[in-house]
Amino acid sequence: MNFKKQFMEGLLTKNPVTVQLLGMCSTLAITTSLFNGIGMGLAVTIILTCSNVLISALRKVIPNQIRIAAYITIIAGFVTVVDLLLKAYIPALSESLGVFIPLIVVNCIVLGRAEAFASKNGVLASAVDGICQGIGYTVALVIVCVIRELLGSGTFGGGLLGEGGAGIRIIPEQFPAMQIVMPVGGFLVLGFVLAGSQALMKRMNNKSKKKEGAK
């Protein structure tokens, strides 16, 4: 097990959003304020880690032929638990994320990691994978959120900071491009974030190649 490698994979080189392009539905839909991004990221991280651990623990018990059905049942169970807990104890977040919490069931990141990682690796490695992939998802969401909120509403920290959760105003009210908050802006911003992460990875690759060449 290599924690550092798994962490880098989750954060950048195999980031669920920018490289694996999983969970696009939630990434495009809820990334309009910082509060949403952090909340959704945390919820997915918790569910992903729990389901990864349980699926990894049961990987030798679950027959191969019915594994997808078994995984989905386990994931749906965890999602419903989180949904009920949020509704009861953090109603503000539950209202803000709305239908996207139940939709984590079909968020391909969770099933994707169950199939690609947890079903083939030990419990501890799967837990680390869940946390790392969850962090990667959260970071990607937060980046998209901050850009969309800044350009679309002209604020930072919506839902968390400022009077009544309006966020801290950075761009005067008449300037922000409202379309950035709409779906089309989601696609645009996501595209630029993907390009940015690709460029970053390319630079890192070139650097490590140069280092090898110098040796």
Partner 1 sequence: MKQNESIVMYVLRLAGTLFLITAVVAALLACVNAVTAPVIEELNAAKTQEAISAVLPGGFDTEITDFADETGIVSKVYQGANGYAVEVGPGGFDNTITMMVGVDNEGKVLGISIVSHTETAGLGAVAAAGTPKGIAFRDQFVGMGAENDILVEKDGGKVDAITGATITSRAICVGVNAALDCVAGLG
Between 15 and 155, name the residue whose CB sits nearer to partner 1.
155
Q: How far is the CB of 121 from partner 1 (least distance, A)?
A: 20
Q: What is the DSSP letter of 18?
A: T
Between 88 and 214, name the residue whose CB sits nearer to partner 1.
88
CA 113 to chain centre: 12
Beta carbons within 8 Å of 106's beta carbon, 6+ residues apart:
none
Between 15 and 138, name the residue whose CB sits nearer to partner 1.
138
Q: How far is the CB of 42 from partner 1 (least distance, A)?
A: 18
Between 22 and 86, name the residue whose CB sits nearer to partner 1.
86
d(CA 132, CA 44): 11
Q: How far is the CB of 91 from partner 1 (least distance, A)?
A: 6
Q: How far is the CB of 188 from partner 1 (least distance, A)?
A: 16
d(CA 33, CA 176): 14
The partner residues of 211 in beta bridges, in order of sequence, read none
Between 182 and 195, name the residue whose CB sits nearer to partner 1.
182
- For residue 93, which of 145, 14, 38 has the smallest C-alpha distance? 38
Look at residue 34 and give its three-state secondary structure.
helix
**Which amino acid appears at position 149 of this protein?**
E
Q: Tokens in use for 86?
A: 């949020």
List of residues contacting partner 1 (CB under 8 A)? 30, 32-33, 36, 58, 61-63, 65-66, 69-70, 73-74, 76-77, 80-81, 84-85, 87-89, 91, 95-96, 98-99, 149, 152-153, 158, 162-166, 178, 181-182
Q: How far is the CB of 165 from partner 1 (least distance, A)?
A: 7
